[in-house]
Amino acid sequence: MKLMALLPFMDKEEIKEFANKIVSGEVKGISLAVVYPFLGRDNLDELVQELIKQGRNKDIYAALPFLSKSALNTLYENVKSGKIEGFKQEVLLPFLGKDKIKEMFDDLVQKAQEEGTDEEDDISVIFQDTE
């Protein structure tokens, strides 16, 4: 019998304990992602906080579709502020609301302005090469 067949019949607390054992390394050979759909949102949000502390971005990426809106927004704010290293903020796009996406856009525009990048110069170089 496969593990996946049993997970829907376990209670949330048992699944939480099982997930914590995977995170701690007590249980090996099982992907953490298989338990995400069966964890309650609060339990998953807590688990992701632990994954953030451990720097396990790959496991966090797999959890994104199951996180609460609040946890996603917090995750975005942590990524934006640099508290989470190596996390690609663009993977959050499908899960963020319009307000956060606009905020991300505005931040990127502001950053480009601060860095003094001039796209016109980049474009003119491209066209100079073709003349």
Task: For 82-117, write each residue's pLDDT tens digit.
Answer: 888 899 988 999 999 999 999 988 988 888 888 865
On whether the CB atoms of residues 21 and 44 are closer than 8 A, the answer is no
Task: Let me know whether 18 and 28 are in one domain.
Answer: yes
Distance between CA atoms of 75 and 69, rounded to whole angstroms?
10
Task: For 15-29, write each residue's pLDDT tens digit.
Answer: 999 999 999 999 998
Residue 59 has pLDDT above 80, yes or no: yes
Task: Let me know whether 44 and 72 are in one domain.
Answer: yes
Banded model confidence at residue 130, pLDDT cuts 50, 70, 90: very low
Which range of residues forms the domain containing residue 24?
Answer: 3-96
Burial status of residue 44 (CB atoms within 10 A of its CB: 0-12, 13-18, 19 or more): buried
Number of domains making up the chain: 2
The rounded percent of the chain whose pLDDT value lies above 70 is: 87
Task: Let me know whether 23 and 42 are in one domain.
Answer: yes
